[in-house]
Amino acid sequence: MLPQRVIEQLIDIVGESRLLFEADDLQRFGVDRTTLWQAAPCAVVLPGTVEEVQSIVRLANQCNLAIVPSGGRTGLSGGAVAKDGELVVALDRINQVIDFNPMDRSVTVGAGMITGHLQQFAEEQGLFYPVDFAASGSSQIGGNIATNAGGIKVVKYGMTRNWVAGLKVVNGAGDIIELNKGLAKNNTGYDLRHLFIGSEGTLGLICEATIQLARAPLESSVMVMGVENFAEIVDVLTCFSRDLDLSAFEFFSQQALDKVISHRGHTEPFKTETAFYALLEFEHSSPDILDKAMALFEHCVDVGWVVDGVISQSQSQAKNLWKLREDISGTLWQWQPYKNDISVRISRMADFLEDVDQLVMEQYPDFEVIWYGHIGDGNLHLNILKPEAFSVDQFHSKCVNVSEEIGQLLAKYEGSVSAEHGVGLLKKDYLHYSRSAVEMDMMRSIKRAFDPNYIMNPGKLFD
Amino acid sequence: MLPQRVIEQLIDIVGESRLLFEADDLQRFGVDRTTLWQAAPCAVVLPGTVEEVQSIVRLANQCNLAIVPSGGRTGLSGGAVAKDGELVVALDRINQVIDFNPMDRSVTVGAGMITGHLQQFAEEQGLFYPVDFAASGSSQIGGNIATNAGGIKVVKYGMTRNWVAGLKVVNGAGDIIELNKGLAKNNTGYDLRHLFIGSEGTLGLICEATIQLARAPLESSVMVMGVENFAEIVDVLTCFSRDLDLSAFEFFSQQALDKVISHRGHTEPFKTETAFYALLEFEHSSPDILDKAMALFEHCVDVGWVVDGVISQSQSQAKNLWKLREDISGTLWQWQPYKNDISVRISRMADFLEDVDQLVMEQYPDFEVIWYGHIGDGNLHLNILKPEAFSVDQFHSKCVNVSEEIGQLLAKYEGSVSAEHGVGLLKKDYLHYSRSAVEMDMMRSIKRAFDPNYIMNPGKLFD
């Protein structure tokens, strides 16, 4: 419970209507898309300016109040969960286009801007914001930056990190800091912008961002291919990416496809059923690109990697093929899946996939496991579905064991326990499989420098 | 002077022949390309493995010995100068290709590898290392990363930062840390890799790097255009970059061209003399690209921005046109130039250039000023030539005043006092024009975490 004195001070800062205590608000703003924790913030505050954010952080420092920054709450690792009486600071109202200059091809926006709105704004300017993923209709730019969101175009365009030219943040001590100011080149000491990107709200609040925009993409084609085993997906990837500038290379299993088709009413890409499907996309950078893609496809069939396939003949067909992949995440929610978002180098992918598959099949034969992911980035989403008979707690404690074993495999393969979803609450126990003790020490020292009273998103990333 | 006991311990680590005390070695390894400071290291040590680097750093901690990391020493800000009895740790011997996998399209190399050798290695694999600049024949990868080197292809390919997929470093405390391990996606807390990139040897020594390689570039054309004033160069840039995917956009003044032509024997790009020249490059991504470029050129002539121009008809002509720009830096050395390496956003470039020009003309009419730079990144190299009558010290103290005034302008325009050369010794007094007091505090805290005894490149970046 917030002391009356603090409530009054918060109302002084933001106004009464921007401080929320209703149970459904606390519930809504207190969780992300994970289902393992109960929302229990003390209140939700909705500042409208960077200065209001600063005042809130200073007040929180004075009364030792923990803050959970809140964006679109589409996170998958509990990074935005407020379960211990924290004050949720939601950036929703700081969501405007602040500055746009076509010469710079960059736009400064409030951190609360919805990703899809930024994509749309870019399109209206004849430009392109290339970070895209299933939740872009409700995720916010600030949250994307705080978690360095990835998605489906990383093969060509990289992660959110690549598109951040400047940040205005309030650190845990309540200082407003402007980082990099939208400059293309700026070698003036440590790049603190890159520290904030992916810091999951533990160093401060991202309030505004200057985002670099890309040139509008060319028309593209989508190809879906049926493949019988893991290793061959990597062969297909290697074959295509050697000769073609891919903008996406995704994969999903037959089980994933089955679920999407039966729950979303999509149609199969082709009649032949195979264990796995690769989906790739490429832009039409030259007129002979389609011939080249078809030749590669035929080669993959000839050597026996690919069983069947389809290439989009129109933009609407391309969209429909994408839905087979993009709707997986949303479809699986009803089974309260336990998500492993892991990565290794492409060259180690085939061996790693084999090892993980064997591990899961042997040790957890009663679990339904759904595979899909951004294989072009070495990124695998291993979803374990909750059997109806299991309670959430039972299921979670069983999954923790899976994660430990996968963590050990990842350490062996020098991979990452969180490729793109971040660490939050969900993965912090496994962080040591990807980051050394020395790195953890360095991270804690950095945390102390930016957030001396440890009020920013405590318990996330590390304890 | 090193105590005999320390000398013996260093010899134990690297062997006698790898510890240098000769005057010419101390001179050679004690400076970079700046001419303002005298080399005065206590010794030069050449470790051959990461473990040897670690042993050296641990020893340096025990006896409170300052270390200056040394790469190709092509730096322009004094970042690799050892002027106060420091131990130079030169990475020259750690220069091998350690691992290459075409599936990952990445290569792990020793930090001492020459940039040009990496470019050549990439080319042999049918790939491309796109960071390129005048000193790539002698600069080293580790130094490039420590200074986040930029160069002539940043418009399309970005800075060195964009190509670093992993680092093996020894921090100031003597810990070996592996950062990011070559992964495409890895959201496991603060990205310490990005802290080391651009840290100028103040956090530790970069020993190995995993470098992402690009697909081989397509054939490209180079265009040089004569322009009568600053503002129109930006107009030309905006016009071309809206419709063409440029891989470079450079500019230089008539004075710069004069010097290059008379000292290197190059020929003029065309007969008409203009105050400034824009050089741009684009890859032949589609067959109609040349027509598009010619149409843009004609438009620029029609509206009066461009007076004359030439487009390369062969790769050798393209190379020769590039030499007009690339040989400027080397040509100017004989005048011991004071270099300002500054940047603002493109949209502010025209106004900023006008202000700087006016400042220099009014206040320093007796100085010869040579302008050139990577205008496509908002990056301007303002070179002030030392008049023969001035001593180095006289000249430097006069230039310091120029820098102060330019710093004030940069603060007004939200620009950078060091776009791509780093801070080192040369720019640290002006750092406050680009970075706030809070940022400086944060940087110092980070320095403490990685280098608790303050032995790593002390006095560089900040005091």
| Shortest CA distance from A289: residue in chain B | B286
Q: What is the pLDDT of residues A263-296, one digit of tens each?
A: 999 999 999 999 999 999 999 988 889 999 999 9
Lowest mean pLDDT among A188-197, B308-317, B331-340: B331-340
Residue A424, chain B, CB below 8 Å: the answer is no
The CATH number given to whatever domain includes residue A262 is 3.30.70.2190
Over residues A51-83, the pLDDT tens digits come to 999 999 999 999 999 999 999 999 999 999 999
- On whether residue A462 sits in a domain, the answer given is no
Residue A132: both structure tokens together? 């895209």
Which pLDDT value is given to residue B421? Answer: 95
> What DSSP state is assigned to residue A219?
P
- Is B421's CB within 8 Å of A175's CB? no
User: Which residues in chain A have Cβ-Cβ distances shorter than 8 Å to B339?
Assistant: none
The structure tokens listed for B422 are 């780093």
- How many Cβ atoms sit within 10 Å of the Cβ of residue A169? 29
Question: Which of chain B's residues have a Cβ under 8 Å away from the Cβ of A234?
Answer: 103
Whether the predicted pLDDT of B90 surpasses 90:
yes
Task: Count the Cβ atoms, other than its own, within 10 Å of residue A198.
Answer: 26
CA A453 to chain centre: 28
DSSP string, A254-307: HHHHHHHHHHH-PPPSSS---SEEEEEEEE--STTHHHHHHHHHHHHHHTTSEE
Domain end among B193, B215, B237:
B215
* Per-residue model confidence (pLDDT) at position B81: 98
> Residues A102, A60: one domain?
no
The partner residue sitting opposite A185, judged by closest CB among B245, B379, B450, is B379
Q: Kindly determine whether residue A185 and residue B103, on different chains, have CB atoms separated by under 8 Å.
A: no
Contact A194 B189 (CB under 8 A): no
Q: Does B442 touch chain A (CB under 8 A)?
A: yes
For CA atoms B19, B25, B26, B32, give the dihedral sign. Answer: negative
d(CA B186, CA A422): 8
- Decide if A104 and B422 are in contact by the 8 Å CB cutoff: no
**Percent of chain A residues topping a pLDDT of 90:** 87
Nearest CA of chain A to the CA of B30: how many Å? 22
Does residue A22 have a pLDDT over 90?
yes
pLDDT of residue A364: 82
Shared domain for A344 and A435, answered yes or no, is yes
Cβ A420–B192 below 8 Å, yes or no? no
Judged against a pLDDT cut of 90, whether residue A29 lies above it is answered with: yes
**Does residue A459 lie within any of the structural domains?**
no
Q: How far is C-alpha B239 from the geometric centre of its chain's CA atoms?
A: 27
Sheet containing A87-90: give its strands across: A19-20, A43-45, A87-90, A67-70
- Identify from A154, A185, A219, A238 which residue to disrupt to test chain B contact, counting B C-beta atoms within 10 A and taking the largest count: A185
Q: pLDDT of A330-356, one tens digit each?
A: 999 899 898 899 999 999 998 998 899
pLDDT score at A199: 98
Contact A103 B185 (CB under 8 A): no
Quick one: A229 and A302 in the same domain? Answer: yes
Q: Does A431 touch chain B (CB under 8 A)?
A: yes
Measured CA to CA, the distance from residue A450 to residue A437 in angstroms comes to 20
Contacts for A362 with CB less than 8 Å, ≥ 6 apart: none
B190, B244: one domain: no
Band (pLDDT 50/70/90 cuts) for residue B240 is very high
Type of residue at B22: E
- For testing the chain B interface, which of A176, A188, A342, A443 should be mutated: the one with the most B CBs within 10 Å? A188
B238: which chain A residues are within 8 Å (Cβ-Cβ)?
Answer: 102-103
Specify the pLDDT at position B134.
Answer: 87
The answer to whether A419 contacts B461, with C-beta atoms less than 8 Å apart, is no
Q: Which of residues 260-299 of A touch B (CB under 8 A)?
A: 285-287
**A433-437, B151-155, B440-444: least confidently modelled range:** B151-155
pLDDT reported for residue B380: 93
Quick check: is A351 in a domain? yes
pLDDT of residue B230: 84
Categorize the per-residue pLDDT at B69 as very low, low, confident or very high, splitting at 50, 70 and 90: very high
Tell me how far apart the alpha carbons of residues A7 and B114 are, in angstroms, rounded to a whole number. Answer: 61
User: Which of B104, B150, B286 lies at the smallest CB-CB distance from A185?
Assistant: B150
Chain A residues in contact with B185 by the CB 8 A cut-off are 150, 154, 159, 343, 374, 377-379, 416, 419-420
B191 Cβ under 8 Å from any chain A Cβ: yes
Look at residue B269 and tell me whether its pLDDT is greater than 90. Answer: yes
Q: Do B184 and A439 touch (CB under 8 A)?
A: no
Considering the domain architecture, whether residues B254 and B148 belong to the same structural domain is answered as no
- The residues in A 352-381 lying below 8 A from B, measured between CB atoms, are 374, 377-379
- Most B CBs within 10 Å, among A190, A243, A340, to test the B interface: A190
Shared domain check, B187 and B102: yes
Q: Which two tokens stand for residue B195?
A: 């802290």
Q: Report helix, strand or coil for B68.
A: strand
Is there a domain that residue A242 lies in?
Answer: yes
B119 and B189: one domain? yes
Check CB contact of B427 with chain A, cutoff 8 Å.
yes
CATH code, domain carrying A67: 3.30.43.10
**CA nearest A443 in B: which residue?**
B190
Range of the domain at A83: 4-91
- Contact of A159 with A131, CB cutoff 8 Å: yes
Please list, in sequence order, all residues whose beta carbon lies within 8 angstroms of the beta carbon of residue B60, skipping any fewer than 6 positions away.
B66, B67, B87, B455
Q: Answer yes or no: do A446 and B378 touch at CB < 8 A.
A: no
Residue A91: how many other CB atoms lie within 10 Å:
27
Specify whether B344 is located in the same domain as B374: yes
Q: Which residues in chain A are closer than 8 Å to B461, comparing Cβ atoms?
A: 189
Please report whether residue B433 resides in a domain: no
The stretches of B246-314 forming alpha helices (DSSP H) are: 254-264, 289-302
Q: Is residue B297, in this structure, part of any structural domain at all?
A: yes
* Chain A contact for B411 (CB, 8 A cutoff): no
- Indicate if A366 and A433 belong to the same structural domain: yes
Q: What is the pLDDT of residues B205-220, one digit of tens each?
A: 999 999 999 999 999 9
Flag whether residue A243 sits within 8 Å of chain B, measured between CB atoms.
Answer: no
For the cut 90, the answer to whether the pLDDT of residue A246 exceeds it is yes
* Interchain CB contact of A153 with B (< 8 Å): no
Residue environment code for B133-149, b if the CB has 16+ CB neighbours within 10 A, otherwise e: bbbbeebbbbbbbbbbb
Q: Are residues B70 and B17 in the same domain?
A: yes
Answer yes or no: is A266 within a domain: yes
Q: Which of B274, B461, B7, B113 is nearest to B131 (CA)?
A: B113
> A185–B104: do the CB atoms touch at under 8 Å?
no
Asked if B235 is an interface residue toward chain A (Cβ–Cβ < 8 A), one would say no
Residue of B nearest to A236 (CA): B103
- Do A284 and A387 fall within a single domain? no
Contacting residues of B for A154, CB less than 8 Å apart = 184-185
CB B333, CB B370: distance < 8 Å: no
> What residues have CB less than 8 Å from B365, skipping those under 6 apart?
none
User: CB–CB of A171 and B438 under 8 A?
Assistant: yes
The predicted structure's pLDDT at residue A286 = 81
Query: How far apart, in whole angstroms, are the C-alpha atoms of residue A234 and residue A378?
Result: 9
Residues of A whose CB is below 8 A from B450: 442
Which positions in chain B touch A344 (Cβ < 8 Å)? Answer: 183
Q: Nearest CA to CA, how far is B122 from chain A (Å)?
A: 14
CATH of the domain at A400: 3.30.70.2740
Number of domains in chain A: 4
Q: Is the CB of residue A139 less than 8 Å from the CB of residue A71?
A: yes
The ipTM of this complex is: 0.96
User: Taking CB atoms and an 8 Å limit, are A177 and B103 in contact across chains?
Assistant: no
Question: Which residues of chain A neighbour B427 with C-beta distances below 8 Å?
Answer: 188
A198/B187 touch (CB, cutoff 8 Å), yes or no? yes
Report yes or no on A458 lying in a domain: no
**Do residues A114 and A67 touch, judged by C-beta distance below 8 A?**
no
Which of B332, B347, B370 corresponds to the end of one domain? B332
Query: pLDDT tens across A79-115, in order?
Result: 999 999 999 999 999 999 999 999 999 999 999 999 9
**pLDDT tens by residue, B279-301:** 999 999 888 899 999 999 999 99
Question: How far does chain B reach from its first CA to its final CA, in angstroms?
Answer: 23
A161, A167, A186: which to substitute to probe chain B, counting the most B Cβ within 10 Å?
Answer: A186
Q: What is the number of CB-based contacts under 8 A between chain A and chain B?
A: 239
* pLDDT bucket at A392, cuts 50 / 70 / 90: confident
Chain B's closest residue to A235, CA to CA, is: B103
State how far the Cα of B203 lies from the Cα of A426, in Å rounded to an integer.
Answer: 31
What is the pLDDT averaged over residues A133-161? 95
Q: Is the CB of residue B187 less than 8 Å away from at least one CB of chain A?
A: yes
CATH number of the domain where residue A169 is located: 3.30.465.10
Residues B316 and B358 in one domain: no
pLDDT (average), residues B353-372:
88
Q: Are B227 and B270 in contact (CB under 8 A)?
A: no
pLDDT, mean over chain B: 95
pLDDT of B399 over the 90 cut: no
DSSP codes of every residue in A124-180? HTTEE-----GGGGT-BHHHHHHTT---TTHHHH--GGGGEEEEEEEETTS-EEEES
